[in-house]
Structure 1
Amino acid sequence: MLIGNLNAKRETYPAGLKSLMSIEKANESRAWLSQWSRLNSEGTPLYSLPDLAAALGVAEILVKDESARSVLGSFKALGAPIALVRLILREFPEQRFEPRGLLAGEYRAALADFTVISATDGNHGRALAAAAQSVGCRCVIVLHANVSAEREEAIAAYGAEIVRITGNYDESVEAAAALAERNGWWVVSDTSYEGYEEIPRDVMQGYGTLAAEIIEASAGGQGRDPAFTHVFLQGGVGGLAAGIASYLWELYGEQRPSFIVVEPEQADCLYQSAIAGKAARATGSVDSLMAGLACGEASPLAWTFLQPCVDFFMTIQDDDAVAAMRRLAAGSERDVPLVAGESAVAGLAGLVNIVATGRLASRVGIDARARVLLISTEGATAPGLYAKLVGESADSVLSRQKAWSASA
């Protein structure tokens, strides 16, 4: 399903939004992250997939591969550490902590009694746990019933204390807030709610690193037209989409590319927000294979950015995601094989569905001149599930990737 957003504008990035998130702050975050030992100092690659573009009838497909961001396996490694650092700087101004020193663990003795907590579907919690371990503070992670044991183990490996609940993601968010209130802990969440916006804003700001790398790697630099006409972004609560779209909107203004947000049909909170004209809840079960996007309620703060700039919202089925995972893993003569997890491929699945329906392709402007940017947000963060869905292990795909790169 696809819906056009009547509120989308093509204008200069508004001053009110720039006061909340800006390229300047994104670049500051990027500088801090550049010294964190758990991130790839070279950033992540931007691949062109000419065979896939030809098959789908578009001029170019670019894929930003976040599986190579760090050992944490996803783009979430950009948001949680920045939010944690900015929180500590605000709470301990008298200590004069230095941001890079925080991530290097230089102040762990002073922060040993400081505790952060968050609910997660997996990747955000893993990134927060890793950041807390680096900083030297305590971390508690709340997991809902649908988070796999495989993902729980990956989070616990970074020293986090795990709390399990029987409900869904939104109920885990409520549980984390209640535990924080009871114990005097700090919630470091990637979704906002009433009275809680500063930290989610910092998380989203961290994602600007990803956008900056895309601009540097593509032909669309400062003062030029974008190197892409369409950007497909994952849904979830809206944080990634807001972080990327706001950066590109500020950079390109009226010449910004078209933004299409894609989410599971059973976790359609952003699609429903577009219908309602305000941050809304999903209408489905919120039980999707795309675990990182299985969110029942849109982040009101993220929606503040998405409502005026996202051109289309759409939903896909779980089977669409599996097919997209397999297509990227397969590669081809001219397309590098890529390890992309269940949530990473929402954009490609959405593009495939649009192309398959000529009426939708015409409506969105996807034609032989379209240059499409996709964000592959995670690798095989649940290796066992990845192998089951793709029919090949992530290690095997990476081995073929290495061989392809050597012969390219």
Structure 2
Amino acid sequence: MLDTFSANTIKHVSYNPHTGNAFKNVIKPQNFADASNEITSWDGYTATPLHRLENLAQKLKIQNIFYKDEGPRFGLGSFKALGGAYAAAKVLQREIKNKFNEKVTLSNLRTGKYASLTNTITLVSATDGNHGRSLAWGAQQFGAACKIYIHTEVSEERAKAMRSYGADVIRIDGDYDDSVRIAKTNAEANGWFIVSDTSWENYTQPPTNVMAGYGVMTNEIIQELPFPPSHVLLQGGVGGLAASVCAALRQKWGKDSPRVIIVEPDLANCLYTSAIKDAPTSVQITDETIMAGLSCGDPSPLAWDILREEASDFISIPDTLIAPAMKLLAKPIGNDPTIVAGESAVAGLAAIIAVAQDETLRKDLDINTSSQILLIGSEGATDKALYHKIISS
């Protein structure tokens, strides 16, 4: 089975990280702490599993592979549940305070004290699916209206999931980056409030809150691991997940923090391209990747501020590696745990399997028999029909 992961199909660029303190200045330790205090108090909060893929690691001649499974997160299917809903609460807190001169706490907001005010506010965002589901859920919890813009290739099952939380879902022609631009334009024209996981000029606070929310996941990993991993492979997208995780790990472990490897689809590799250019660089998406949550052509400048100082390597992988990786978790080697993983969840897994079987890349990335690898399984089967189609093919 592992023979299907050909390293000849992946691209790797080494990056010389810049020196700086973005890891603690962009998302401050207090930002992570505030988000953790709030999110861990929500009904239904529980830490997600950190699995050890012992038999796969042995096959790849690696000491350990740890897989953080975000599929069960709040019943929403992905790590995004931590970011969108928390950022929604922060936006509502700010707007009620500014608009109605009310002193607002998140706990009072959560218990419905300000329901008569929150129902006058509309939250809006663009999504490939998971962020929008989190925002729709959060808006419903806090009593706000919600509009979600999705592009042509977002599946109807994912759209239906957002509608189930009361969101008005608007499908547009174009790709994810087009949906971001249209959402922004319509929000400005109608007085709605954008809760985005990507940043742009003069728009940084909600994306910072989104990334702070993701820190709950990383803190769970830190609490469970008695030592820092040697490597962490992080999905790309706009960069928010990767930036949040590596910032939190660096705040915890300092110079012992793991080597950061960013993994993206070759059909949407804006961070890989940014590393080559040494500056945030957009790419044109001409064909949609199967990794729907990573189909982003424009990097988040806020996230790039962190990644340019923390990431050592950028890898671009083809879609052909995704189905084998999903199947490997569904029908694991030996007594490794069975894991339901969506298309975007397995990017890091696919990359490490390919890298570990190529002597040149093993050397370039310093992968050896002592390596401790951390992977983020960012989603479960957020489109169940597509999941079953892939793993049964």
Normalised to the residue count of structure 1, the TM-score between the two structures is 0.90
The 5 Å alignment of 1:131-170 reads 131-170=138-177
Does the C-alpha gap of structure 1 residues 141 and 25 become closer, same or farther in structure 2, counting only changes over 3 Å?
A: same
Amino acid at match of 1:46: L
Q: CA deviation at 1:89?
A: 2.2
SS of match in other structure, 1:248: helix
Q: Which has the higher contact order (CA 8 A, sep 6+)?
A: 2
1:370 matched to 2:377? The reply is: no
User: Secondary structure of the residue that 1:21 maps to in structure 2?
Assistant: coil
The 3-state SS of whatever aligns with 2:267 is: helix
Paired residue type of 2:299 = A
1:6 pairs, out of 16, 24, 27, with 16
Aligned mates of 2:107, 2:129 — CA distance in 1: 25
Amino acid at match of 1:182: A
1:335 aligns with 2:336: yes
Aligned to 1:316: 317
Query: Structure 1 residues 390 and 8, CA, compared in 2 at 3 Å: closer, same or farther?
Result: farther
Give the distance between the partners of 2:161 and 2:96, measured in 1 at CA.
Answer: 30
1:232-243 aligned within 5 A:
232-243=233-244
- Work out whether residues 65 and 375 of structure 1, in 8 Å CA contact, stay in contact via their aligned partners in 2: yes
Question: In structure 1, what is the equivalent of residue 353 of structure 2?
Answer: 352
Query: What residue ranges of structure 2 are gaps of 5+ in the alignment?
Result: 1-10
Of 127, 140, 146, the residue aligned with 2:134 is 127
Distance change (3 Å), C-alpha of 1:349 and 1:124: same
Which residue is 2:30 aligned to?
24
Contact 1:268–1:283 under 8 Å retained in 2: no
Q: CA deviation at 1:8?
A: 5.0
Shift of 1:378: 0.4
Alpha carbons 1:74, 1:378 under 8 Å: kept: yes
Distance 2:222 2:253 in 1: 11
1:124-273 maps to which residues of 2 (within 5 A)?
124-220=131-227, 226=228, 228-273=229-274
Q: Once the 2 structures are TM-superposed, how far is the Cα of residue 283 of structure 1 from its aligned partner? A: 4.8
Q: In structure 2, how many angstroms separate the alpha carbons of the residues matched to 1:106 and 1:210?
A: 28
Indicate conservation of the 8 Å contact 1:116/1:138, yes or no. Answer: yes
Structure 2 length-normalised TM: 0.94
d(CA) in 1 for partners of 2:33, 2:142: 21
The change in CA–CA distance for 1:361 and 1:217 in structure 2 (over 3 A counts) is same
Q: Within 1, Cα distance between the matches of 2:176 and 2:285? A: 13
CA contact (8 A) 1:265 1:284 kept: no
Aligned residues: 380
Distance apart, 1:67 and its partner CA: 0.5
Partner deviation per Cα, 1:92-138 (whole Å, 9 max, x = no partner): 23322221332343422221110010000000000000000000000
**2:90 aligned to 86, 92, 100, which one?**
86
Is the contact made by 1:69 and 1:75 (CA closer than 8 Å) also made in structure 2? yes
Q: CA deviation at 1:141?
A: 0.3
Maintained 8 Å contact 1:145/1:164 = yes
Matched with 1:399 is none
Percent of pairs with identical residues: 40
Unmatched runs of 5 consecutive residues or more in structure 1: 221-225, 393-408
